[in-house]
Amino acid sequence: MRSSTVRCAVIEKENPETERPDTFLRDSDGQNGSVSSSSSVRVRFEKMIRDAQDSVCEAIERADGGGKFKEDVWSRPGGGGGISRVLQDGAVWEKAGVNVSVVYGLMPPEAYRAAKAAASDQKPGPIPFFAAGISSVLHPKNPFAPTLHFNYRYFETDAPKDSPGAPRQWWFGGGTDLTPAYIFEEDVKHFHLVQKNACDKSDPSFYPRFKKWCDDYFYIKHRGERRGLGGIFFDDLNDYDQEMLLSFATECANSVVPAYIPIIEKRKDMPFTEQHKAWQQLRRGRYVEFNLVYDRGTTFGLKTGGRIESILVSLPLTARWEYDHKPEEGSEEWKLLDACINPKDWI
Amino acid sequence: MRSSTVRCAVIEKENPETERPDTFLRDSDGQNGSVSSSSSVRVRFEKMIRDAQDSVCEAIERADGGGKFKEDVWSRPGGGGGISRVLQDGAVWEKAGVNVSVVYGLMPPEAYRAAKAAASDQKPGPIPFFAAGISSVLHPKNPFAPTLHFNYRYFETDAPKDSPGAPRQWWFGGGTDLTPAYIFEEDVKHFHLVQKNACDKSDPSFYPRFKKWCDDYFYIKHRGERRGLGGIFFDDLNDYDQEMLLSFATECANSVVPAYIPIIEKRKDMPFTEQHKAWQQLRRGRYVEFNLVYDRGTTFGLKTGGRIESILVSLPLTARWEYDHKPEEGSEEWKLLDACINPKDWI
């Protein structure tokens, strides 16, 4: 997989900024009129994720009714940067992070597939890459209100100058997935149905394929269970028309609010006991295990020296580990665990 | 490092046992009179770690005054097994785990250094290995009472049958380290002094060397800070007399109680605020980050399919992650963080 091979990618250290720039793109990326077909995808993808950040944050603040997002803007000297927004200790969410970033870097040539096809007597130099994405994790307080994660990203490598014939590469990745501590079937069905509808607009084969990919990806191998109840996930996607994939990613990002907020409205004020809270905390522990041990974005970010606070905002405010905890068979906790061990078709 | 190269080592699945056996060693390992010099180290090391488990658990229960250890015994069909003891929600400790294990397995020949020196036209088979160790993490409730970790282990590979001339290898590893949320200089000095005294009995060069190794090992690279205030750590140690190293490891294990329990007695009943508790929880979050991302024993265990509950008993009962938390300069929290960023000489 590409993201594991670019672990030794080089990116510069970020600087805090006092103002949000109109764009994090370099001038050469086409926002000043010099629009090539591909730079135009960069431009439109950045606009898409920044719009999505605004609309998701607005919907979260409205549903929370109390908490406000704190914004941190950062940039890198050679171009690129990001906007981190975090709402902490709100009325509904204990921690909600919605980040966008635009990153320019260099990856070692061994990590670049097409470079290998070039003449073997030429030693290609490091390959410039471009990556832009929106990434969000929303952890509510109420144990009946589920955690949501979504992430949509676009990646490009420049054509290496010293390997004639090696093409510029690009791909899309992303997904939206739901992690409740307790199952309300109507919620999970609603969530998956919104994902399916978003997928179907581009290709009816997408939902079944990306639903399975999601179940496979969010697998905590050492536990033999998934982090949650899935949704959709895809990566390295480039075997479709680029415009089609851009509009697919846009549709997915726009589906986050209608997929999630109605569930939150129903669950945010449900009464709960200390036992419910303790189980939520144990599931949050699994969330931490998945993110720190397996998640590609997290492990890639930690190893390449990305902005740590933006990367680890995905971790819950609090988590819990009890030795050898086993829910009683047939209990609500057991039903959730069972669905994490044996993924179901929800629609 | 060896432990990262044996990640694809093969070990069998464990079975629960109702009774504690006298030994987890195979008959061929010399406990039935057929004592070769090396099998005798296996026998004596197992006895040492089982005695240490008993005496540490006894001291913990006595100091806790309420909690009792729950014991799980497990074994593997081909030999080996372990005893996990966990005290949860005691009066003083929220989670205390003290585990011993004796493991037989096969590692791929590429992971075995000496095999490489053998004739290159012979393809060596998998190398049998033996590993025995005691491992413990003790997380108290009171934020002024520090977490303690210790681990002592002995590792052997058999001489590969099909690589004549490649020797049997052995080494020792281990260490004891202290992770407080607040610094009491007298506690940290006492702790390090006991480590130094234990080291000095074997070799006066050990303490300075293993103190530095500890500071280097428990480094959370993505944070630029250490997990705690160190102690001693060593690995791959075989360039000394085997008997000397066995008695050194024994001395270290026997020093755990006098190094730690007096500190607990002083701190366990100190009054504290919610702010103190929240800071302890943030530091517990760092503990989780180190263990899941960097700790060799944990990552090795998760990847080779060791007993998950025994491995992850090292995680605290509860932990916390706040976005972009920065302690106020000069505060007690800042002093701890500063000592984690810039390791000090305590004695």
- What are the pLDDT tens digits along chain A (347 aa)? 344 344 456 667 788 999 999 999 987 776 554 445 455 899 999 999 999 999 999 999 999 999 999 999 999 877 799 999 999 999 999 999 999 999 888 876 665 555 444 445 556 678 888 899 999 999 999 999 999 999 999 999 877 666 666 667 899 999 999 999 999 999 999 999 999 999 999 999 999 999 999 999 999 999 999 999 999 999 999 999 999 999 999 999 999 999 999 999 999 999 999 999 999 999 999 999 999 999 988 988 888 777 899 999 999 999 999 999 999 999 999 999 999 999 999 99
Residue B314 to residue B298: CA distance in whole angstroms: 9
B281 CB within 8 Å of a chain A CB = yes
Cβ A172 vs Cβ A160: under 8 Å: no
B27 CB-near residues (< 8 Å, 6+ apart): none
* Residues in A touching B311 (Cβ below 8 Å): 222
Residue A23 to residue A131: CA distance in whole angstroms: 14
ipTM greater than cut 0.85: yes
pLDDT of A178: 98
Task: Provide the residue ranges of all domains of chain B, joining segments of one domain with +.
Answer: 15-29+37-341
Residues linked to residue B237 through DSSP beta bridges, in sequence order: B172
Cβ of A288 within 8 Å of Cβ of B292? The answer is yes
Inter-residue long-range contacts of B271-278, CB under 8 Å, 24+ positions, other chains counted = B272/B142, B272/B143, B272/B144, B276/B143, B276/B144, B276/B181, B276/B182, B277/B143, B278/B320
Cβ of A302 within 8 Å of Cβ of B318? The answer is no
Cβ of B97 within 8 Å of Cβ of A221? The answer is no
Lookup: tokens for A163: 């390997």
Torsions phi, psi for B130 (to 5 deg): -130, 130
Lookup: tokens for B265: 């007695």
* Confidence tier at B126 by pLDDT (50, 70, 90): confident
* Residues in B touching A292 (Cβ below 8 Å): 288-289, 292-293
Residues of A catalogued as catalytic: 149
Q: What ranges in chain B are assigned the alpha helix state H?
A: 2-5, 37-64, 113-116, 185-200, 206-217, 242-254, 256-267, 274-293, 296-304, 308-311, 332-341
* Residues in A touching B315 (Cβ below 8 Å): 285, 321
B278 CB within 8 Å of a chain A CB = no
A288 CB within 8 Å of a chain B CB = yes
Q: What ranges in B205-345 are assigned the alpha helix state H?
A: 206-217, 242-254, 256-267, 274-293, 296-304, 308-311, 332-341
Q: Are strands B127-140 and B231-237 parallel, antiparallel or unpaired?
A: unpaired
Q: Is A217 helix (H, G, I), strand (E, B) or coil?
A: helix
> What confidence tens digit (pLDDT) does each residue in B26-81 have?
877 765 544 454 558 999 999 999 999 999 999 999 999 999 999 999 998 777 99
CATH number for the domain running over A15-29+37-341: 3.40.1500.10
B304 CB within 8 Å of a chain A CB = no
Instruction: For B94, name the nearest residue in chain A, comparing CA atoms only.
Output: A322
DSSP B10: B
The sign one gets for the Cα dihedral A80, A85, A86, A92 is negative
Residue A125 to residue A107: CA distance in whole angstroms: 9
Instruction: For A278, name the nearest residue in chain B, comparing CA atoms only.
Output: B318
The stretch B281-295 carries a mean pLDDT of 97
Cβ A29 vs Cβ A158: under 8 Å: no
CA nearest neighbour of A199 among A188, A187, A183, A212:
A212
CA nearest neighbour of A16 among A96, A98, A83:
A83
Lookup: tokens for A71: 């914004």
